[in-house]
Amino acid sequence: MNDVSNSLAIRSLADRLIAAETDRSACPPIREEIAALSVGDAVSAAYAVQNEVNRRRSDAGERIVGRKIGLTSKAVQKQLGVDSPDFGTLFAAMAIGDGAEISLGGLIQPKVEAEIAFILGRDLTFERNTTADILRAVDYAVAAIEVVDSRIARWDIRLLDTVADNGSSARFVLGTRPLSLGAVDLFNCTMSLDRAGQEVSKGAGAACLGNPVNAACWLADMMVAIGTPLRAGDVVMTGALGPMAVVTEPGTYTANIEGFGSVRAVFTA
């Protein structure tokens, strides 16, 4: 494929994902079409589709507030046959207050996952970041819930589908108890996600690439490599600490992360 037909194809795949989101009607998987765009690096082609969707959101006036890291747990990586994380972009319109209502009518097939969010106090512009760089750059951390909502029908996704689809991200809720990293045990902290008193997911900090700081390091390097470094003020959703839980009906999901307290995602009809 030449560059012109490639960029037409990227735009048309972006159109499809945007229509799925706008119409709340998921589309078939797009991985084969993405793979056909590139002889070599199909993942780059998938990020090109993600960029096209996000460029249109930015052009429409939406504000980028950070990034999400996905595919950080071994279980999800195995499910998708990958050994590396991916990332998506967080917009202000995706941010929901702790306990504020999230209308199920605005989503397609949501799932929730509990994680730790870092809020940066410094830019991360080194080509290769270290644990020390991340520890210095994080202003504070909070418990968080990400609502993922694949625009691909029945969550029939592989790496290329979810990369193109902004890491399947839809909404995020930040807790309101900011903690400095020195005050928490990011490796050992346990996580429990409950709905109506029933545990729907559990895990620990170590499930996120061994430690959420490792995930942030991966993202920081990646963002420098593609020319859009993480900046002071960015929210970084570091990745799920346990399996995703399917949201089928209205209700309150409460994530408790040891040392961080709790955060709630409240789904309404």
Ligand X SMILES: C[C@H](O)CC(=O)C(=O)O
Nearer to ligand X, 9 or 255 (CB): 255
Question: What is the four-CA torsion angle of 108, 113, 118, 119, rounded to 10 degrees?
Answer: 30
How far apart, in whole angstroms, are the C-alpha atoms of residue 166 and residue 154? 17
Nearest approach, Cβ of residue 72 and ligand X (Å) = 5
Please choose, from the candidates 143, 156, 242, the residue with its C-alpha nearest in 3D space to the C-alpha of residue 202.
Answer: 242
Nearest approach, Cβ of residue 209 and ligand X (Å) = 10
239 lies in the binding site for ligand X (CB under 6 A): yes
How far apart, in whole angstroms, are the C-alpha atoms of residue 56 and residue 53? 5
Of 2-10, 64-72, 136-144, 197-205, the segment contacting ligand X by CB under 6 A is 64-72
Q: State which of residues 50, 129, 162, 214 lies at the interface with ligand X (CB under 6 A).
A: 162
109 lies in the binding site for ligand X (CB under 6 A): no
The backbone torsions φ and ψ at residue 63, rounded to the nearest 5 degrees and listed phi first, read -100, 130
242 lies in the binding site for ligand X (CB under 6 A): no
Of 17-25, 65-73, 118-126, 261-269, the segment contacting ligand X by CB under 6 A is 65-73
Of 36-44, 50-58, 70-78, 254-262, the segment contacting ligand X by CB under 6 A is 70-78
Render the burial of 54-66: b for 16+ CB within 10 Å, e for the rest: beebeeeeeebbb
Total binding residues toward ligand X, as defined by CB under 6 A: 13
Parallel, antiparallel or unpaired: strands 251-257 and 190-195: antiparallel
113 lies in the binding site for ligand X (CB under 6 A): yes
Nearest approach, Cβ of residue 242 and ligand X (Å) = 10
243 lies in the binding site for ligand X (CB under 6 A): no
76 lies in the binding site for ligand X (CB under 6 A): yes
* Residue 119 and residue 233 in contact, taking contact as beta carbons nearer than 8 Å: yes
72 lies in the binding site for ligand X (CB under 6 A): yes
Nearer to ligand X, 51 or 168 (CB): 168
50 lies in the binding site for ligand X (CB under 6 A): no
How far apart, in whole angstroms, are the C-alpha atoms of residue 91 and residue 58? 9
Footprint of ligand X (CB under 6 A): 70-73, 76, 113, 146, 148, 162, 167-168, 239-240
